[in-house]
Amino acid sequence: MHELAPYAVTDQNSEGRVHPEPRPAARSEFQRDRDRIIHSTAFRRLEYKTQVFVNHEGDLFRTRLTHSIEVAQIARTIARALRVNEDLVEAIALAHDLGHTPFGHAGQDALNTCMKDYGGFEHNLQSLRTVDSLEQRYGGFDGLNLTFETREGILKHCSPHHARELGHLGQRFLDRTRPSLEAQICNLADEVAYNNHDIDDGLRSGLIDLDQLHAVGFFSRHVATVRGEYPAISGRRLIHETVRRMINSLALDLIEETRRRLSTANPGGLADVRSAPPLVAFSPTMNEEGRELKAFLHANLYQHYQVLRMTNKARRIVTDLFGAFLDDPRLLPPQYQRMAEADRPRAIADYIAGMTDRYAIREHRRLFAVGEIWLA
Ligand code: MG
Question: What are the pLDDT digits (tens) for 180-220?
Answer: 999 999 999 999 999 999 999 899 888 999 999 999 999 99
Say what the pLDDT of residue 1 is. Answer: 56
Say what the pLDDT of residue 350 is. Answer: 98
Instruction: Measure 193 CA to ligand 1 centroid, in angstroms.
Output: 8
Summarised one tens digit per residue, pLDDT across range 119-153 is 999 999 999 999 999 999 999 999 999 999 999 99
Mean pLDDT, all residues of the chain: 94
Say what the pLDDT of residue 310 is. Answer: 87
Say what the pLDDT of residue 54 is. Answer: 57
In the structure, ligand 1 is a single-atom ion and the residues with CB under 5 Å from it are 97, 190
The answer to whether 214 touches 220, Cβ cutoff 8 Å, is yes
**CA-to-CA separations, 39 to 35, 139, 144, 247, 351, in angstroms, rounded:** 6, 15, 10, 29, 20
CA 351 to chain centre: 19
Give 17's strand partners. Answer: 147
**214: Cα within 13 Å, side-chain hemisphere:** 4
Say what the pLDDT of residue 155 is. Answer: 96
Instruction: Measure 363 CA to ligand 1 centroid, in angstroms.
Output: 25
- pLDDT > 90? residue 107: yes
The answer to whether 314 touches 103, Cβ cutoff 8 Å, is yes
CA-based nearest residue to 290, from 193, 225, 158 = 193
Tell me how far apart the alpha carbons of residues 276 and 354 are, in angstroms, rounded to a whole number.
Answer: 36
Count the Cβ atoms, other than its own, within 10 Å of residue 81. 17
Instruction: Measure 68 CA to ligand 1 centroid, in angstroms.
Output: 6
Q: What percent of the chain has pLDDT over 70?
A: 97
Q: What is the enclosing helix (H) or strand (E) of 240?
A: helix 235-265
Instruction: Measure 340 CA to ligand 1 centroid, in angstroms.
Output: 29
Q: DSSP label at 4?
A: P
Tell me how far apart the alpha carbons of residues 317 and 362 are, in angstroms, rounded to a whole number.
Answer: 10
Instruction: Measure 96 CA to ligand 1 centroid, in angstroms.
Output: 6
When mean pLDDT is compared over 201-215, 298-312, 313-327, the highest value belongs to 313-327
Instruction: Measure 84 CA to ligand 1 centroid, in angstroms.
Output: 21
Average pLDDT over residues 265-287: 97
Q: Which amino acid is at 99?
A: G
Tell me how far apart the alpha carbons of residues 376 and 316 are, in angstroms, rounded to a whole number.
Answer: 20
CA-based nearest residue to 28, from 185, 209, 182 = 182
Across 92-101, 171-180, 200-209, least confident range: 200-209
Tell me how far apart the alpha carbons of residues 187 and 193 are, in angstroms, rounded to a whole number.
Answer: 10
Q: Can you list the domains of the chain with their CATH numbers? A: 29-307 (1.10.3210.10), 309-375 (no CATH)
Say what the pLDDT of residue 307 is. Answer: 87
Instruction: Measure 259 CA to ligand 1 centroid, in angstroms.
Output: 24
Instruction: Measure 206 CA to ligand 1 centroid, in angstroms.
Output: 23
Contacts of 24 (CB under 8 A, 6+ apart): 31, 32
- Max intra-chain CA distance, the chain: 68
Tell me how far apart the alpha carbons of residues 58 and 204 are, in angstroms, rounded to a whole number.
Answer: 10
Instruction: Measure 313 CA to ligand 1 centroid, in angstroms.
Output: 22
Instruction: Measure 245 CA to ligand 1 centroid, in angstroms.
Output: 20
- DSSP 3-state of 17: strand
- pLDDT > 70? residue 2: no
- DSSP 3-state of 147: strand
Q: What percent of the chain has pLDDT over 90?
A: 86
**CA-to-CA separations, 105 to 101, 123, 184, 351, in angstroms, rounded:** 8, 9, 22, 17
Summarised one tens digit per residue, pLDDT across range 32-84 is 999 999 999 999 999 988 877 655 555 667 889 999 999 999 999 999 999 99
- pLDDT > 90? residue 343: yes
